[in-house]
C-alpha cells in the first residue's frame, strides 16, 4: 500500500526510536556489567596459624591466599564474559560459561562459609537450639558427627561434606557435594557447616589420611557461627 508522506515519516520516526531504545538498552547492560562490584577475597577472622595444631599455617595460607583467591579471580573473569554474552544475546556463549560459573562461584561461596565455620576458640559441642535440633534429627551430637564424618570421608575425589537445613521439613540433614558444587544450588539445603576435603585443604599435613583430617577439624568448628546460620535459615 501507498502511505501519505506524513504517515511514512511517522513510521520512520518510530523505527528510529525503537532502534535508539535497543541501542540504549545494550549500552545500559554493558554499563551495569562494567560498574558491577567485583567479588573480593574475604579476610580471615584469625591468623593463618591460629588453627594449629589441627590445621597448620602453611595449609591455611595456601588455601586462602592462593586457592580461594583463584576462584574469586576466575569468577570475576567469567562473569564479565557472561555479561558480554548477555549484552550480545549470545546464548551459546552463555551456556558454555555456565560450568565455569558453577565451579568458581561455588568455590567462592563454599570457602567464604568455611572460613567462618572455623575458629581457634571452636570445638566442644554446640549449645541451645542447634544442639536440640541435632539431638532431634540425629539422636545425639556424637551420632551427627559420625554421620557427617562418614559422608565427608567417603567423598570420591574432591568435594565437601555438609550439615544443612531443610526449609521444607524444618530439619537438619547431612549431605556431600562433588567438586565445588554449592550445597544450596545442588540440593536445596541451606549450608550451616562445611568440611572441605579437596586435598589442598589437608594434604601437606595429613598426606592421604583424610579420616585423620576430618577428625581433627571438629576441634576448631565454630558452633556459634553454625548456630547463627541456623537462625538465619529459619527466617
Binding residues for Mn(2+): 63, 111, 196, 200
Query: Across the strands, what pairs with 160?
Result: 177, 196
Rounded to the nearest 5°, which phi and psi values hold at 124?
A: 60, -140
Residue 164 near residue 173 (C-beta atoms within 8 A): yes
Query: Which residues fall within 8 angstroms of residue 116, CB to CB, at 6 or more apart?
Result: 45, 222, 225
Place of cell 570475576: 76
3-class SS of residue 191: strand
Q: Which residues are annotated as a binding site?
A: 63, 111, 196, 200
Interstrand relation of 159-166 and 171-178 (parallel, antiparallel or unpaired): antiparallel
- Tally of CA atoms within 13 A in the half-sphere of 43 that contains its CB: 3
Amino acid at each position: 500500500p501507498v502511505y501519505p508522506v506524513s504517515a511514512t515519516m511517522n513510521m520512520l520516526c518510530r523505527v528510529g526510536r525503537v532502534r535508539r531504545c535497543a541501542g540504549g538498552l545494550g549500552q545500559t547492560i554493558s554499563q551495569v556489567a562494567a560498574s558491577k562490584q567485583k567479588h573480593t577475597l574475604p579476610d580471615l577472622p584469625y591468623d593463618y596459624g591460629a588453627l594449629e595444631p589441627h590445621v597448620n599455617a602453611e595449609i591455611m595460607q595456601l588455601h586462602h591466599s592462593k586457592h580461594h583467591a583463584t576462584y574469586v579471580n576466575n569468577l570475576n573473569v567469567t562473569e564479565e564474559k557472561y555479561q558480554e554474552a548477555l549484552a550480545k544475546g549470545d546464548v551459546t556463549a552463555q551456556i558454555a560459561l555456565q560450568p565455569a560459573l558453577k565451579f568458581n562461584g561455588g568455590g567462592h561461596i563454599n570457602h567464604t562459609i568455611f572460613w567462618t565455620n572455623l575458629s581457634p576458640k571452636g570445638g566442644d559441642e554446640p549449645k541451645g537450639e542447634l544442639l536440640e535440633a541435632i539431638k532431634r534429627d540425629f539422636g545425639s551430637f556424637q551420632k551427627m558427627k559420625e554421620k557427617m564424618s562418614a559422608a565427608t570421608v567417603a567423598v570420591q575425589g574432591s568435594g565437601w561434606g555438609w550439615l544443612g537445613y531443610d526449609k521444607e521439613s524444618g530439619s537438619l540433614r547431612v549431605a556431600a557435594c562433588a567438586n565445588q558444587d554449592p550445597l544450596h544450588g545442588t540440593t536445596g539445603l541451606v549450608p550451616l557447616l562445611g568440611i572441605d576435603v579437596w586435598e589442598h585443604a589437608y594434604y601437606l599435613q595429613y598426606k592421604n589420611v583424610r579420616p585423620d583430617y576430618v577428625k581433627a577439624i571438629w576441634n576448631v568448628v565454630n558452633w556459634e557461627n553454625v548456630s547463627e546460620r541456623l537462625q538465619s535459615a529459619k527466617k
